[in-house]
Amino acid sequence: MTMLKELAAELIGMFVAEMRLTISALAIVAMVAFLVDFIGVDPLLGGAVLLLGSLTLLVESVLRGARPRS
Amino acid sequence: MAWSTALTAVSAAFLASLVEVVEAFTIVLAVATLRGWRTAAIGTTVGLTALAGVVLLLGPLVARVPIASLQLTIGVLLLLFGVGWLRKASLRAAGVIPLHDEEAIFAAETAQLGAQQQRVHGSLQWVAGITALKAVLLEGLEVVFIVIAVGAGRGLLLPASLGALAACAVVLGAGVVIHRPLSRVPENSLKFGVGVMLSAFGVFWTGEGLGIPWPGQDLALLLFAGLFLAAGFLGSSLARKLSLGFA
């Protein structure tokens, strides 16, 4: 049972390295899906939002990780 | 299928497997040092068999999912997984969090097994075997995900699996020869590279799943990888300056 718990924790940890990064990445994907599928925005523009949003999230998350916690 | 996709998929599986197998090998070596290679080999074999079973079971099932849904689901998971690895590797490269130290992990694992041996009065065989099995399962889980994720959607399951197996062979071969934890493997650089590739795959497939026609098709993967590499370096460099500023 302990091993199953550890496996489950490992599995979740694989996709949730940091909660804020995970939620923000999911929000970007949801926003792009909404823009492309419901608003009818040019898919390429949606792609640019997805790519640039992911890159920005990465840099922001690394910088947040480097700041000392108050 | 373009060579860029196949090459990226096989390289990602090989390099990710290299990192994870080095980590698992450290614990298996600790088990072997204390309780002999037989116990370590049994635990490792059972773990590898379980992981191979997961690939054989899930691989064909995943391939039956409609391609757009599969690309979107796997793309999002790869993006989350990839940026997570890249974030941690960037922070380690910046010196914000410590590097993975295989020698220290080997010493800690050996001490822990030794303490357990004293508590259970020498009947440690099964505990050691389970320790090796757990190490292989936990570290191998990420490899299995990567192999299925980069392989199943494009019929690359076999090449990706072979890439992962090749990494196992390289690590085991090196480990058997030098008989020490493989502390000189540049784990963080490898993790950085795999994080870059998986993040690029993640954006590419998420986009395809959402119906985005990427210019240059599969070649766009290389551009994405270059951009994630640059973002990782930028983040790491800024994080180093930031942490020094607070020091």
Quote the pLDDT of residue A10.
77
Does residue B235 form part of some domain?
Answer: yes
Q: Output the six-digit token pair for B74.
A: 């796997």
Contact yes or no for A15 and B84 at CB 8 A: yes
Domain count, chain A: 1
pLDDT tens digits for range A3-46: 778 778 877 887 887 889 999 999 999 999 999 999 989 999 99
pLDDT tens digits for range B87-120: 999 999 988 888 777 777 777 777 777 776 666 6
The one-letter amino acid at A59: V
Nearest alpha carbon to residue B8 among B135, B160, B167, B186: B160
pLDDT tens digits for range B174-233: 877 777 776 666 778 888 888 998 999 899 999 999 999 999 888 898 899 999 999 999
Residue B35 makes CB contacts below 8 A (sequence gap 6+) with: B113, B124, B125, B128, B129
CB distance B13 to B166 below 8 Å:
no
Contact yes or no for B242 and A16 at CB 8 A: no
Does residue B246 form part of some domain?
Answer: no
B239 vs A21, A43, A66: nearest CB: A66
Rounded to two decimals, the pTM is 0.83
Q: Give the range of the structural domain holding residue A34, as residue numbers without chain letter.
A: 17-66
Does residue B247 form part of some domain?
Answer: no
Dihedral, CA atoms, B239, B242, B243, B247, nearest 10 degrees? 170
Domain count, chain B: 1
Residues 123-182 of B with CB under 8 A from A: 130, 134, 137-138, 141-142, 145
Dihedral, CA atoms, B139, B143, B145, B147, nearest 10 degrees? -170
Quote the pLDDT of residue B126.
73
pLDDT tens digits for range B6-41: 777 788 888 888 888 888 888 888 888 777 778 888
Q: Give the range of the structural domain holding residue B46, as residue numbers without chain letter.
A: 3-241
The one-letter amino acid at B197: M
For residue B79, what pLDDT band results from cuts at 50, 70 and 90? Answer: very high
Contact yes or no for A11 and B141 at CB 8 A: yes
Residue B156 makes CB contacts below 8 A (sequence gap 6+) with: B1, B5, B6, B9, B10, B150
Contact yes or no for A22 and B145 at CB 8 A: no
Does residue A7 form part of some domain?
Answer: no
Closest CA of chain A from B177, distance in Å: 31
Handedness of CA B24, B30, B35, B38 (dihedral sign): positive
Q: Output the six-digit token pair for B246.
A: 């607070």
Mean pLDDT of all residues in B241-247: 76
Chain A, chain B: beta-carbon pairs less than 8 Å apart:
129
Residue B69 makes CB contacts below 8 A (sequence gap 6+) with: B209
Q: What is the rounded CA–CA span in Å between residue B65 and residue B153?
A: 9
Does residue B122 form part of some domain?
Answer: yes
Does residue B24 form part of some domain?
Answer: yes
**ipTM of model:** 0.92
* Residue of A20, A22, A58 to mutate when probing chain B, most B C-beta within 10 A: A58
Closest CA of chain A from B228, distance in Å: 6
Q: Kindly calculate the radius of gyration of chain A based on its CA atoms and give it in whole angstroms.
A: 16
Contact yes or no for A55 and B228 at CB 8 A: yes
Q: What is the rounded CA–CA span in Å between residue B148 and residue B53?
A: 12
